[in-house]
Amino acid sequence: MKREDLDVYLLIAALMILLFYKNYGNILKILMNLSIYLVMILAAASFIILIKMRRLSPRKGPLVVPARLSVYDKDANINLNKLKDIAEGMGLRIIFLISIGRSGLMGRSPGKVAYKVLLLGKDREMIRAGASAINSTSEGFKIELMERNLNPDLAQEIIEICDESEVASIGVGRNPERDEPLLELGERKGRVIGIPVGELTKHILVIGQTGSGKTTTVKRIIYEAWNLGIPSLVLDSHWEYRNLIFGMGGRIFCSRAGYPQVCINPLISIPKGEKEIFLVAETLSSLLDLTPSQFYLLLKALRRLSDISSEKNPPNMYDLLMEIKGFSTSSQPEEESRASLVRKLEPLVSGDGEAIFKCDNILSTGFEEVPTLLELGDVESDLQKRLIAFFTLKRIKDYYIREEAKSRYPKLIVVLEEAEKLIPYYKDQIGMELISRLFAELRKFGVALVLVSQSLSEIPEGAVRNTGIKIIHKVESPSDLKFLRTFMREKNIVDKILTLAPGECIMNFPGGVESLQVRSVDELPLSRESVDEVIMMNSFYWISR
């Protein structure tokens, strides 16, 4: 080192010593602050290094493989506890999580339900063998393993949650006493309340005054049923279900020009013989309030049409009207009966009635596959609506009878909004037996009815007594409350009904009585114009006439 350089270094050192001497207090404070920050930085770096080392180190515990339990047969009786026992026998553990499988906006593939499942085991080969064992001993469903294993940290969190709650480990609605799916409606004090799916075919009555929450309850039933793969057919007159059905990927029909339309021919089955002829005659007689002589003329005309027609070319309501108009009478009283019968029939086939009752495409709507809405708001009269409703139910019954397969669980839910306007009010014993038999046959072949009304006393008593589940929202009508006392024996039941808030209800079913707050369904916030535009332009909604 040169002397000149050494002199420079000594000068710099002297200046630094002088500076430190003059400002040593401030310099010490700065050094102390820096030391605190340095310690914090070193601690954070050490924590990050430890976490990374922990993640890189192998986790002890079972391998967790996500899987899908796919149900292909809606009638399959799936005992979740039995599946757990089979898995445990193979040294595995199975955890049921949440219902999946929706397609489209809110809909799903009909007839197929799936659940997310976790399988825990020593290795993937053992888990694959366990899944094969479950599939080989079960019918109507199978377990399909996913390609990737579940992240160990996420899996551990799920397992810990499932260990704390039996409900979380199952994750699907169940009736613990019967081990069957539960159609969840709402809750009370943190407890989920609903209807066991196997009970739906006992038919449901939902009543309550305006604003009490009836429609919210019915929408929940439709929504939860579709989550289980069960479609609904809704007959409504106020467009209250448009967005729900549309959002679930369903179809919408009405009688308005420019829209996909549905038609039903009440006479389509009379070529089959006397039984069908009498059914049509009895139904029309009740709807039109016919006298005995008018009933005789109607029966005569139906028999005549049956003789000259065939199942491939059945008569319709217009043909019936023309047949009766063409009758020759032998007396003045008979002529008066004929003329009166014509006057009663003409409103049925006038206006929209001619198009509605002229053909029959109800079985082409896809009601058995996807949620379907038949909007009756533009139908001119309650008489026409009742005719549509009754023969729609009859055609559905005939459809499922042809399948010749009885079902424990429902294949279809039919909702009748303003049921008091849709169900024929039979005045004689024969008519009441007719409606009771129809309800019973629908039940037997897996069709669940949901009757919705503001007034219990306006629905035919036979129909009310054929509903095994009654959901009551707030009602104040004295006649309705009096009727409710006849089948609800709980003490002070009327006082409870009178104090129900909107959305609250009391459910009376074979298992007892439950009070609950029904959960509402989140619907697509679409305007009527937006939905109409899609319906009128999308061929999915159209059917052959």
For the chain, which residues make up each domain, given as ranges? 63-172, 181-264+361-541, 270-345
Count CB-CB contacts under 10 A for residue 97. Answer: 18
- For residue 466, the number of C-alpha atoms closer than 13 Å in the C-beta half-sphere is 24
* Separation between Cα atoms, residue 355 and residue 533, nearest integer Å: 23
Cα 78 versus chain centre, distance: 20
Cα torsion angle, 541, 542, 543, 545, sign: positive
Q: Which of 282, 310, 307 is nearest to 294 (CA)?
A: 282
Q: Which of 470, 430, 480 is nearest to 450 (CA)?
A: 470
pLDDT on residue 233: 95
Q: Which of 250, 534, 536, 237 is nearest to 366 (CA)?
A: 250
Question: Which numeric CATH code is attached to 181-264+361-541?
Answer: 3.40.50.300
Count CB-CB contacts under 10 A for residue 101. Answer: 16
Which is higher by pLDDT, 449 or 466? 449
pLDDT on residue 339: 94
The residues pairing with 362 across neighbouring beta strands, listed in sequence order, are none
Q: How confident is the model at residue 492 (pLDDT cuts 50, 70, 90)?
A: confident
CA dist 287 to 62, 295, 315, 463, Å? 68, 12, 20, 16
* Separation between Cα atoms, residue 250 and residue 368, nearest integer Å: 11
Within 404-491, where are the H helices? 419-422, 429-444, 461-465, 478-487
* Helix/strand/coil percent split, the chain, to 5: 50, 20, 30
pLDDT on residue 435: 78
Q: How confident is the model at residue 151 (pLDDT cuts 50, 70, 90)?
A: low
Give percent of the chain with pLDDT exceeding 70: 71
pLDDT on residue 169: 30
CATH homologous superfamily, domain 63-172: LOR/SDH bifunctional enzyme, conserved domain (3.30.70.2690)
Q: Which of 515, 525, 502, 489 is nearest to 212 (CA)?
A: 502
CB 78 within 8 A of CB 71: yes
Mean of per-residue pLDDT scores for the chain? 77
Against a cut of 0.85, is the pTM above it? no
Q: Which of 433, 436, 448, 398 is nearest to 276 (CA)?
A: 398
Q: Which of 468, 433, 421 is nearest to 449 (CA)?
A: 468
Highest mean pLDDT: which of 123-137, 141-155, 183-197?
A: 183-197
- In eight-state DSSP terms, residue 194 is E
Helix (H/G/I), strand (E/B), else coil: 192: strand
CA dist 510 to 178, 463, 466, Å? 13, 17, 13
* Separation between Cα atoms, residue 129 and residue 91, nearest integer Å: 10
Which is higher by pLDDT, 249 or 213? 213
217-250 burial, b at 16+ Cβ within 10 Å, e below that, comes to: bbbbbbbbbbbbbbbbbbbbbeebbbbbbbbbbb
pLDDT on residue 56: 46
Cα torsion angle, 98, 100, 105, 108, sign: negative
Which is higher by pLDDT, 314 or 530? 314
Give the tokens for residue 135.
């599939």
* Separation between Cα atoms, residue 21 and residue 18, nearest integer Å: 5
Segment holding 132, helix H or strand E: helix 124-136
**By CB neighbour count within 10 A (0-12 exposed, 13-18 middle, 19+ buried), where does 351 fall?**
middle
pLDDT on residue 235: 95
pLDDT in tens, 364-407: 877 888 899 999 888 878 888 888 998 999 899 888 887 766 66
Residue 272 has pLDDT above 80, yes or no: yes
Give the tokens for residue 498.
């009178």
pLDDT on residue 60: 54
Question: Can you state the angle between helices 292-308 and 332-349, rounded to 10 degrees?
Answer: 70
Q: Give the mean model confidence (pLDDT) for residues 484-491.
A: 72
Count CB-CB contacts under 10 A for residue 1. Answer: 6
Give the CA angle between residues 109, 110, 114 to the nearest 5°.
Answer: 65
